[in-house]
Amino acid sequence: MNLRKLLNIFLIFAVFVSWGRIFFAISGKVFGSAGLSSLKYFTILSNLLEAFASLIWLIKRNEELKYIAAVSVTLTMITVLVFLGPIFGYFAMFAGANLWLHLLVPLMALLEVLFLNKTRFDRKANFHAALPMVIYGIFYLGNILLNGVGEWPRSNDWYGFCRWGIPVGIGIYFFIAFATYMIGFCTRKLGELIIKKK
């Protein structure tokens, strides 16, 4: 069994064990939500997408889905590093299962696409890579617009994007959508350079 097969098996295992620890409130709850309510977080959804993409890769070698998932979990990692970490504290962001979901799985997924993949991705794939975040953001903001921000701990703005007002939250949404596309762009361009050097 080659390295990449082992890595994908490990990614599936790491994601589901980490989510299981959150689901059953054993360790590393994302902002305090266990059970099915944990599925409201992009962290969980992006990591589950990575696990699903890893499973599909083992069966069908679907490289574009691996690229899409890697962009999504990389967005999770960067959001934690530059936005959520300073607000909620890096200790909470990397404690328990969060260490895997916020840092280790994203790093492994990104490095896999960059160094173990031989496929060149086009602009269409780049737009596809931004879709999970765009769709998630529509539901996230839609919920706030329909039901209001609410009060902590039952706030509908669990990421705090609208803490400076809904217009700012909408601005943050468009910025993150653009940033997601740029993560995909940089990933595919860097991947092309690495392929050329092989």
Question: What single-letter DSSP state applies at residue 81?
Answer: I
Which SS3 state, helix, strand or coil, does residue 33 take?
Answer: strand
Average pLDDT score, the chain:
92
Over residues 161-186, mean pLDDT: 94
Q: What are the start-end ranges of the H helices in 89-155?
A: 90-93, 97-99, 105-115, 123-147
- State how far the Cα of 8 lies from the Cα of 113, in Å rounded to an integer: 11
Q: What is the CA radius of gyration of the chain?
A: 17
Q: Tell me the per-residue pLDDT of 98-128, one tens digit each, with 9 for 90 and over.
A: 999 999 999 999 999 999 999 999 999 999 9
Which SS3 state, helix, strand or coil, does residue 115 take?
Answer: helix
Q: Tell me what pLDDT residue 126 has.
A: 97
**Angle at Cα 68 formed by Cα 23 and Cα 7, nearest 5°?**
65
- State how far the Cα of 184 lies from the Cα of 99, in Å rounded to an integer: 23
Decide which of 45 and 85 is more confident.
Answer: 45
* Greatest Cα-to-Cα distance within the chain, rounded to the nearest angstrom: 53
